């Protein structure tokens, strides 16, 4: 019997910290050896001239999830994970989304039932908490955290999801106690509501007005407010899908002050602008997401935030709603911008876009690319070092990239079920060629080789990222009886 089941040979291996020429030995789904030259395995993969990177970890995607307006995503856990795998992602953390009135237990069971029989790569879950009742926070959440769902998202906008500041404090207080990481969708609800009403009153109904209503000031204000709430409670927080300078600067300033504020951004804020929403008829609806894409200056601010460490995570926020009457056009051909399901697809192109425009154009090093697309998310959400790196003992989630392959993006190349890509026609250089998930070759030569349901549920640990700093504001006097333990 050979020592290795699989050997990936002759490649240039990159992690978040190193780039090295070495072979990788794989057995029982894990990396068991890294060396200049390994003996033969049962399966040999020649990676000469190729880059060998950890599989991507996409820690923000909406799969088989109903929107707050009741629209189902086009991708279920089969098509969503197949599409992810073809794009070089080997682990996803989508959402198990609570609607008001639902118990978290029933929500999580439902998402396990959806994912278990279909996923082809490994997955964890974040919760979305829309109804933070005492029972949800005091009883259900602690049990789910013990079951490996250690992060949750809350919304400061959307009628059906939004929490007020009082509820945010309740949630932050519990997260601190339980060691969970809080993800925040930060946009000022009333600013958006007010602007939307005025726009609609004036007859401005087209998709492009979505970008006007979701003003960057609304995002900046809510981000700053969320940070202050986090600071008051000394609860770490990750601001998701940041689109513009205002929010980026607020996060950067908080980090400079030593606060544990993390930032995430997504492809739509690097490669789309508000002009994409300004197309004939309802075509701009294909680009409606929240926050919306902004302008070229905002794109530059987001690139800078990726480079200087303001953002730790580059995720897709894949929210695949078809451009037809089942989803984006559910309200018919005369729909106004408030009636369009929010979200854009991106799970398959997340890595190729950032590789081509980031690494290929010299904006990011290979190590930074790996950190932003895999390692940091695995660390933040308690999956490291099992996921997000190539190291002895880690799961053999490995992607072999052809750095020279040139591709013109066309929806026909992709494997999701959304029916369009916002990046149609874009020229990219660098493409994920062969994808291994726990040592199984799941994608090779453009073909899938993975059974439905072969992906495993991942229990996330509580992460160091969620530990409080211990720096409480002087006003929060522990001797006061506020009904909660401060230290």
Q: Interface residues for ligand URP in 293-332 (CB under 6 A)?
A: 317, 319
Q: Which two tokens stand for residue 175?
A: 């997260």
118 versus 185: smaller Cβ distance to Zn ion: 185
Q: How far is the CB of 157 from ligand URP (least distance, A)?
A: 9
Told to check if 350 binds ligand URP by CB under 6 A, we report: no
Using the minimum distance from each CB to Zn ion, give the nearer residue, 341 or 458.
341
Give the span between the Cα atoms of 391 and 11, in whole angstroms: 15
According to DSSP, the β-strands at 313-314 and 261-265 are parallel
Find the shortest distance in angstroms from Cβ 290 to ligand URP. Answer: 4
Helix/strand/coil (H, E, C) string of 413-433?
Answer: HCCCCCCCCCCCCCEEEEEEE
How many alpha carbons lie under 13 Å from residue 273 in its C-beta half-sphere?
A: 7
Nearer to Zn ion, 174 or 317 (CB): 317
Residue 195 tokens, joined: 């602007």
Among Zn ion, ligand URP, none, residue 342 binds (CB under 5-8 Å by kind)? ligand URP
One residue of 30, 185, 328, 462 binding ligand URP per CB under 6 A: 185
Q: CB of 59: closest distance to ligand URP in angstroms? A: 12
Site residues (CB under 6 A) for ligand URP, limited to 234-253: 241
User: Could you tell me where the DSSP H helices lie in 214-265?
Assistant: 216-233, 245-256
Kindly give, in sequence order, each residue whose CB lies less than 8 Å from that of residue 106, ignoring residues fewer than 6 positions away. Answer: none
In whole angstroms, give the CA distance from residue 355 to residue 305. 16
Neighbours of 80 (CB within 10 A): 35
Which residues, numbered 142-201, are part of the site for Zn ion (CB under 5 A)? Answer: 185
Kindly report the number of other CB atoms within 10 A of residue 469's CB atom: 12
Task: Pick the binder of ligand URP from 15, 188, 235, 290 (CB under 6 A).
Answer: 290
Nearer to Zn ion, 68 or 437 (CB): 68
> Taking CB within 5 to 8 Å according to partner kind, which of ligand URP, Zn ion, none is near residue 211?
none
From the centroid of its chain, how far is CA 131?
22
**Scanning residues 57 to 76, which ones bind ligand URP (CB under 6 A)?**
62
Pick 158 or 411: Cβ nearer ligand URP: 158
Beta-bridged to residue 26, according to DSSP, are 6, 31
Minimum separation from the CB atom of position 474 to ligand URP (A): 35
> What span, in angstroms and rounded, lies between the C-alpha atoms of 88 and 51?
12
Which class for 481: exposed (0-12), middle (13-18), buried (19 or more C-beta within 10 A)? exposed
Q: Answer with the entry of Zn ion, ligand URP, none that 289 interacts with (C-beta below 5 to 8 A by kind).
A: ligand URP
Closest to ligand URP by CB, 185 vs 438, is 185
Location of structure tokens 């007859």? 203
The nearer residue to ligand URP, 62 or 350, going by C-beta atoms, is 62
| Among 12, 173, 342, 389, contact with ligand URP (rule: CB under 6 A) | 342
Residue 54: count of CB within 10 angstroms of its CB: 31
Alpha-carbon distance 404 to 356, whole Å? 10
Measured from the CB atom, the residue of 220 and 430 that comes closer to Zn ion is 220
At its nearest, how many Å lie between ligand URP and the CB of residue 94?
11
How many chain residues touch Zn ion (CB under 5 A)? 2
On the 0-12 / 13-18 / 19+ scale of CB atoms within 10 A, 217 is: middle
Residues 371, 359: Cα–Cα separation, whole Å: 12
Q: Does 230 bind ligand URP (CB under 6 A)?
A: no
**Residues in region 299-318 near Zn ion by CB under 5 A:** 317
Cis peptide before 486 (omega within 30 of 0): no
**Which positions from 163 to 182 touch ligand URP by CB under 6 A, shown as an x/- string?**
--------------------
State in angstroms the smallest separation of the CB of 346 from ligand URP: 10
| 343 near ligand URP, judged by CB under 6 A | yes
| Binding stretches for ligand URP (CB under 6 A) | 62, 185, 241, 289-290, 317, 319, 342-343
Q: Where along the sequence are the contacts to Zn ion (CB under 5 A)? A: 185, 317
């Amino acid at each position: 019997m050979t020592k290795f089941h699989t050997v990936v040979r002759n490649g240039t291996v990159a992690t978040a910290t190193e780039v090295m020429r070495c072979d990788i030995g794989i057995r029982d789904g894990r990396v068991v050896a890294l060396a200049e030259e390994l003996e033969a395995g049962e399966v040999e993969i020649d990676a000469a001239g190729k880059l060998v990177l950890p599989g991507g970890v996409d820690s923000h995607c909406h799969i088989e999830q109903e929107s707050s307006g009741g629209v189902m995503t086009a991708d279920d856990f089969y098509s969503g994970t197949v599409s992810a795998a073809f794009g070089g992602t080997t682990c996803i953390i989508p959402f198990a989304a609570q609607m008001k009135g639902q118990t978290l237990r029933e929500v999580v069971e439902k998402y396990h039932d959806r994912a278990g029989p279909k996923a082809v790569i490994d997955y964890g879950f974040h919760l979305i908490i829309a109804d933070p009742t005492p029972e949800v926070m005091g009883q259900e959440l602690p049990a789910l955290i013990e079951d490996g769902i250690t992060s949750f998202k809350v919304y400061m906008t959307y009628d059906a999801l939004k929490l007020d500041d009082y509820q945010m404090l309740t949630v932050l207080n519990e997260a601190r106690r339980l060691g969970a990481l809080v993800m925040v969708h930060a946009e000022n609800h009333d600013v958006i509501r007010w602007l939307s009403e005025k726009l609609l009153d004036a007859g401005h109904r087209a998709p492009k007005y979505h970008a006007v209503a979701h003003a960057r000031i609304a995002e900046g204000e809510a981000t700053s407010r969320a940070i202050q709430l986090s600071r008051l409670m000394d609860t770490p927080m990750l601001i998701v899908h940041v689109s513009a300078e205002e929010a980026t600067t607020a996060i950067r300033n908080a980090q400079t002050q030593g606060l544990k504020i993390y930032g995430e951004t997504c492809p739509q804020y690097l490669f789309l602008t508000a002009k994409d929403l300004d197309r004939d008829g309802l075509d701009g609806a294909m680009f409606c997401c929240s926050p919306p894409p902004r302008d070229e200056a905002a794109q530059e601010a987001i690139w800078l935030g990726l480079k200087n460490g303001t953002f730790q995570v580059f995720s897709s926020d894949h929210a695949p709603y078809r451009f037809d009457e089942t989803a984006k056009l559910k309200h018919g051909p005369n729909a106004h911008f408030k009636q369009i399901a929010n979200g854009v697809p991106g799970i398959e192109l997340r890595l190729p876009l950032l590789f081509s425009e980031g690494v290929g154009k010299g904006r990011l090093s290979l190590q930074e690319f790996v950190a932003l697309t895999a390692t940091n998310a695995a660390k933040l959400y308690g999956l490291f070092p099992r996921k997000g790196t190539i190291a002895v003992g880690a799961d053999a989630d490995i992607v072999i990239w052809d750095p020279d392959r040139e591709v013109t993006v066309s929806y026909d190349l992709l494997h999701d079920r959304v029916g369009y890509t916002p990046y149609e026609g874009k020229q990219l250089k660098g493409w994920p060629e062969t994808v291994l998930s726990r040592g199984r070759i799941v994608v090779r030569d453009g073909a899938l080789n993975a059974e439905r349901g072969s992906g495993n549920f991942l229990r996330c640990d509580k992460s160091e990222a969620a530990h409080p700093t211990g720096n409480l504001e002087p006003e929060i006097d522990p001797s006061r009886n506020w009904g909660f333990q401060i230290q």
